Amino acid sequence: MRRAREIVGLPVIDAKTGKQVGKVYDLLIGDDWRIDGFILSPRSLFMPCRYMAWSDAASCGEDAVTTRQPKRIRNWKRVRGGITLVDGRRKVRGLPLMTTEGHILGVVEDVYLEKQMGNTVIGFELSEGFISDLIEGRKWLSMPETAIAGDDALVVPAGSEQTVAPFCVMMEGS
Domain range 96-172, CATH architecture: Roll (2.30)
pLDDT of residue 80: 56
Q: Which CATH homologous superfamily contains domain 2-84?
A: PRC-barrel domain (2.30.30.240)
Mean pLDDT across 130-143: 88
Q: Which residue has the higher pLDDT, 81 or 167?
A: 167
**Domain assignments of the chain as residue spans, ordered by start:** 2-84, 96-172
Indicate left, alpha or beta for 34 from its phi (over 0: left) and psi (-120 to 50: alpha): beta
Please state, in angstroms and rounded to a whole number, the distance separating the CA atoms of residues 121 and 37.
13
Whether the model clears a pTM of 0.75, i.e. scores above it, the answer is: yes
What are residue 84's DSSP bridge partners? 28, 91
More confident residue, 145 or 77: 145
Q: What is the pLDDT of residues 15-46, one digit of tens each?
A: 999 999 999 999 999 989 999 999 999 888 88
The closest alpha carbon to 5, from 76, 91, 75, belongs to: 91
Amino acid at site 14? D
C-alpha to C-alpha distance for 76 and 33, rounded to whole angstroms: 20
Contact 105, 160 (CB under 8 A): yes
Residue 115 in this model has a pLDDT that exceeds 90? no
174 falls in which pLDDT band (50, 70, 90)? low
2-84 and 96-172 share one fold? yes
